[in-house]
Structure 1
Amino acid sequence: MSYEHLNSFERKAIYYRHNSGESYRSIGRLLNRHHTTIMREVKRNKPPYYTYFDESAEDLAVERKKKPRHAKKFSNKTLYQHVVHKLQEGWSPDAIAGRLKKNHPNDKGKCVSHETIYQWVIKDYQVGGELYKALPKRHKKRKKQRKYGDLRGKIKNRVSIHERPDIVEKRSRIGDWEGDLVEGKKGSGYIVTHVD
């Protein structure tokens, strides 16, 4: 099940129930959330020396969403300098991210994704830096990745299987072909099937 952020209605319920002394577990059951989610919400958004307040918690959550994840990692200067050093040694962002994950499997503060590294390179370029020159292919900007879903329905002059003649369903003649192409894991090859 994918995680969904708390909404303003849930924060309002937490405000009333937490401040009336209700437990995190009880609030979690009411909202169909894990009790640690409620506890983190209160600890993260409760101002010092004051009680939890839903409106200020909502404002803080909105501000956090505006700040991209790569910017949060960027503030970790040791991690950033390590990444820059590895780029200058000729490592690719994928290799750097993979090695960090392997060396620090349980410490997210010492790990970074390849996407974040690319965002750092782009950010550096935007302020006049030349970190992009350390990339293996040296692109100032990344090409937009094409997703496989974007390729569907792009065959020129194709005819949908739903528009084929009724006689094809009878399978009484030769020459009515159906074809399919499946790509395996990158670099492993393709499988083509043709059925008459």
Structure 2
Amino acid sequence: MAFEVRPERKPQGRKALVREREEYFRLMDQGVSSREACRMVGINPRTGKRWRNGRRATAHNKAKPPVSRPGEQTGPTRYLRQDERIHIADRLREGASLRVIAGELGRSPSTISREIRRNRSHVRGDQWAYRPHAAQSRADARRPRPKPGKIGQNPELRDYIQRHLGKRWSPEQICQQLRRDFPGRPEMHVTHETIYQALYVQGRGELRRELARALRTGRAMRRPRRQAQQRQPRMARPMVMISERPAEVADRAIPGHWEGDLIIGKNNGSAIGTLVERSTRYITLLHLPMGRAPELVRDALADAVASLPQHLKRSLTWDQGTEMHLHHEFTITTDIPVYFCDPASPWQRGSNENTNGLLRQYFPKGTDLSVHTRGDLEAVAAELNSRPRKTLGWETPAERLAKLLTPAS
């Protein structure tokens, strides 16, 4: 039944204007301005404003909060609330920037920008206005789930995707090709995530399940990776962090503490291992012609330290690279504990980082490191170990190491 303005305009007293309030907010949700909605309902514009924004305390009246509407949320939520949309509209009229508005609401600037772009109302031509109640109505209409999928509603799009999946194209390749083949038809544009969901989400039936075998992984089910308990551990055994390393390592007074890392070749396809003794700066290079798999790095490290005397085998500090996945096996074989640096903290292996920079003169970035033989690596290490170092009082690393080996021999 259509709304009718009350013929008698007597004050309602304690009786609330229930029908007027419902009609007022219904009109606001449709994008009608507040003043026009008040005229159509038959109330004073100040009444509509008080319903929306509440009332401040004055000398004669108590403060009143805004009228709560059914289903309205008041606490912090993932989605914008109506009071936040009202705040956006008020601040836009005042000329505030999107970043300022986002800071006031505790939201991301991109959230505010996306909200205005999605839910603004076109006035005439290219002109638009942001009306919060209409924006709230549009957002509420889009929120209910489940929704019919875009692929399932468009047979042409579905056939195109299935045809290219049959050719073993990846979903990302397909979505980019759709934009090239149908530049003026947004209904034929999807993201690769839409294609994955059409394959993986049960009950949609938008794409044939057997097409999942054409994906690179060949899996018919998505494997979640966001939850920490579902991720593959980086190391086979728990890491011992650098914070637990003995204090004697820091001052470099006691020899036998080493730092290690890999330098990587072209396209991550080759590597050379580097070891630096912290006290003498002596360098040892690991030959890894078959790659940098954990078992290969473990064996190369064990061979490199096998000939050292016991007093030069105290500890090894490494970054958190997966090549040290089998660090516990290296420790069992050599009796050398391994300590791991904190993430993104290369300065905790300063000597090794400096050495890697020197090695790049011999092994430039973007080159294939697998072409170098063991003899090549030994020649480079010998050349660097015979350079006098200012930090060693102009002695060479080889001379310092010889002094340490002479008593032991």
Per the TM superposition, whether the score is higher than 0.5 is: yes
CA deviation after TM superposition for structure 1 residue 58, in Å: 2.9
CA offset digits 1:142-169 (Å, max 9, x no partner): 2334799x56764514210111011100
| Residue of structure 2 equivalent to 1:131 | 208
SS at match of 1:171: coil
* Aligned CA distance change for structure 1 residues 173 and 106 (closer, same or farther; 3 Å): farther
2:87 to 4, 8, 13: 13
Report the equivalent of 2:149: 71
Residues 9-45 of structure 1, C-alpha deviations (whole Å, 9 max, x = no match): 3312356x5xxxxxx953552764688964752328x
- The aligned length equals 176
Q: Distance in 1 between matches of 2:163 and 2:175?
A: 13
* Identity level (%): 29
Structure 2 residue 104 is matched with structure 1 residue 26: no
Q: Distance in 2 between matches of 1:182 and 1:69?
A: 50
8 Å CA contact 1:183–1:190 kept in 2: the answer is yes
Q: Structure 1 counterpart of 2:157, which letter?
A: L
Measure, in 1, the Cα distance between the counterparts of 2:113 and 2:221. 43
Q: Distance in 2 between matches of 1:8 and 1:171?
A: 62
Q: CA deviation at 1:101?
A: 4.3
Cα separation, partners in 2 of 1:114 and 1:6, compared to 1, 3 Å: same
Matched AA of 2:222: R
The CA deviation at 1:104 is 5.5
Corresponding position of 2:242: 161
SS of structure 1 residue aligned to 2:268: coil
What residue identity is the alignment partner of 1:142? Answer: R
In 2, Cα distance between equivalents of 1:184 and 1:115: 33
RMSD, aligned α-carbons? 4.6
Trace 1:52-67 onto structure 2 (pairs within 5 A). Answer: 52=131, 54=133, 57-58=135-136, 60-67=138-145
Match for 1:117 among 183, 189, 195?
195
- The alpha-carbon distance between structure 1 residues 160 and 92, as it changes in their structure 2 partners (threshold 3 A), is same
> 1:113, 1:69 → 2: CA distance?
16
Q: What do residues 113-132 of structure 1 show as CA deviations (whole Å, max 9, x unaligned)?
A: 22221111124x54678723
The offset of 1:88, in angstroms, is 3.0
TM-score, normalising length from structure 2?
0.33
**SS in structure 1 of the partner of residue 249 of structure 2:** helix
Q: Distance in 1 between matches of 2:80 and 2:260?
A: 47
Q: CA deviation at 1:6?
A: 4.7
One-letter amino acid matched to 2:209: Y
Distance 1:84 1:39 in 2: 33
**How has the CA–CA distance of structure 1 residues 120 and 42 changed in structure 2, closer, same or farther, with 3 Å as cutoff?**
same
- Structure 1: how far apart are the matches of 2:159 and 2:204? 17
* Contact 2:158-2:206 within 8 A present in 1 as well: no
Aligned CA distance change for structure 1 residues 132 and 92 (closer, same or farther; 3 Å): farther
Structure 1, unmatched stretches of 5+, are 18-23, 45-51
Q: Distance in 2 between matches of 1:183 and 1:69?
A: 47
The one of 43, 52, 60 aligned to 2:121: 43
Q: What is the TM-score with the length of structure 1 in the denominator?
A: 0.59
Q: Is the 8 A contact 1:183 1:189 kept in 2?
A: yes
Larger radius of gyration: 2
How far apart, CA to CA, are the structure 1 residues paired with 2:275 and 2:248? 19
Equivalent residue letter for 2:158: Y
Indicate the residue corresponding to 1:21 in structure 2.
Answer: none
User: More helix per residue: 1 or 2?
Assistant: 1
Residue 100 to residue 57, structure 1, CA distance change in 2 (3 Å): same
Equivalent residues of 2:259, 2:275 under 8 A apart: yes
Structure 2 residues not aligned, in runs of 5+? 1-77, 102-111, 123-130, 278-409
